[in-house]
Amino acid sequence: MHRGVSPRTTSRTALFTCLAIVLATTMVQGTLSTAESYQGIDRCALVETLQFNGQAANASVQWQVDLGPRLPGSEVSANFREAITENLTALDYEVSTQEHQRYDMNLTNLFAKWSPDGTSSGLLVLSAHYDSRNIADQDTNESNRSQPVPGANDAASGVAVLLELAKHIPSMGLNHDVILFFNDAEDQDQQYTLGAEAWAENLTEEEVASIHAFVLLDMVGDADLQLHNILPGNDTLKSRVVDLATDLGMVNGTVDCSGAAGEDIVQYDTLVGVLDDHVHPHELGIPSIDIMDTTYGEPKPYTFGSYWHTMEDTPDKVSAESLGAVGRLVELGLRTYAFVDIAEDLDGENTTEPTESSNNTESEEDTGSKSLAALAAIGLFSVLTLILVVEWKGKP
Ligand SMILES: [Zn+2]
pLDDT tens track for 26-42: 333 334 554 568 988 99
Q: Report the alpha-carbon distance of residue 313 to residue 70 in Å, rounded.
A: 14
| 394, pLDDT greater than 50 | no
* Cα 1 to middle of ligand 1, angstroms: 5
* Cα 300 to middle of ligand 1, angstroms: 15
* Cα 187 to middle of ligand 1, angstroms: 5
The answer to whether residues 342 and 240 touch, using CB atoms and an 8 Å cutoff, is: yes
Bond prior to 155 in cis (omega within 30° of 0) = yes
Q: 261 Cβ partners below 8 Å, 6+ apart?
A: 249, 254, 255
* Cα 222 to middle of ligand 1, angstroms: 13
Q: Which pLDDT score is estimated for 385?
A: 55
Q: Report the alpha-carbon distance of residue 394 to residue 140 in Å, rounded.
A: 21
| 195, pLDDT greater than 70 | yes
Q: 189 Cβ partners below 8 Å, 6+ apart?
A: 134, 135
Closest CA to 84 of 110, 51, 109: 110
Q: Give the residue-averaged pLDDT of 227-253.
A: 97
Of the listed ranges 246-255, 355-364, 374-383, the least confidently predicted one is 355-364
Task: Give 149's DSSP letter.
Answer: P
Q: Report the alpha-carbon distance of residue 170 to residue 27 in Å, rounded.
A: 33
* Cα 11 to middle of ligand 1, angstroms: 21
Percent residues over pLDDT 90 in the chain: 76
Single pTM value for the model: 0.81
Of the listed ranges 153-162, 251-260, 358-367, 372-381, the least confidently predicted one is 358-367
* Cα 195 to middle of ligand 1, angstroms: 14
Q: Report the alpha-carbon distance of residue 13 to residue 102 in Å, rounded.
A: 18
Q: Which pLDDT score is estimated for 136?
A: 98
Q: Which pLDDT score is estimated for 380?
A: 59
- The secondary structure of 314-373, three-state, reads CHHHECHHHHHHHHHHHHHHHHCCCCCCCHHHHCCCCCCCCCHHHHHCCHHHCHHHHHHH
Q: Which pLDDT score is estimated for 375?
A: 52
Q: 16 Cβ partners below 8 Å, 6+ apart?
A: 232, 275, 279, 283
Helix (H/G/I), strand (E/B), else coil: 364:
helix
Express each pLDDT in 287-309 by its tens digit: 999 999 999 999 999 999 999 99
Q: Give the residue-averaged pLDDT of 59-64.
A: 98
Closest CA to 126 of 274, 292, 280, 330: 330
Express each pLDDT in 274-288 by its tens digit: 999 999 999 999 999
Sketch the domain layout of the chain as residue ranges.
Answer: 7-393
Closest CA to 314 of 66, 40, 29, 75: 66
| 355, pLDDT greater than 60 | no
The answer to whether residues 315 and 152 touch, using CB atoms and an 8 Å cutoff, is: yes
The answer to whether residues 218 and 158 touch, using CB atoms and an 8 Å cutoff, is: yes
Q: Which pLDDT score is estimated for 19?
A: 38
Express each pLDDT in 93-152 by its tens digit: 999 999 999 998 999 999 999 999 989 999 999 999 999 999 999 999 999 999 999 999
Query: What fold does the segment set 7-393 form as a domain?
Result: Aminopeptidase (3.40.630)
| 377, pLDDT greater than 80 | no
Q: Report the alpha-carbon distance of residue 190 to residue 137 in Å, rounded.
A: 10
Q: Which pLDDT score is estimated for 376?
A: 54
For residue 95, the surrounding DSSP H or E stretch is: strand 94-102
* Cα 309 to middle of ligand 1, angstroms: 6
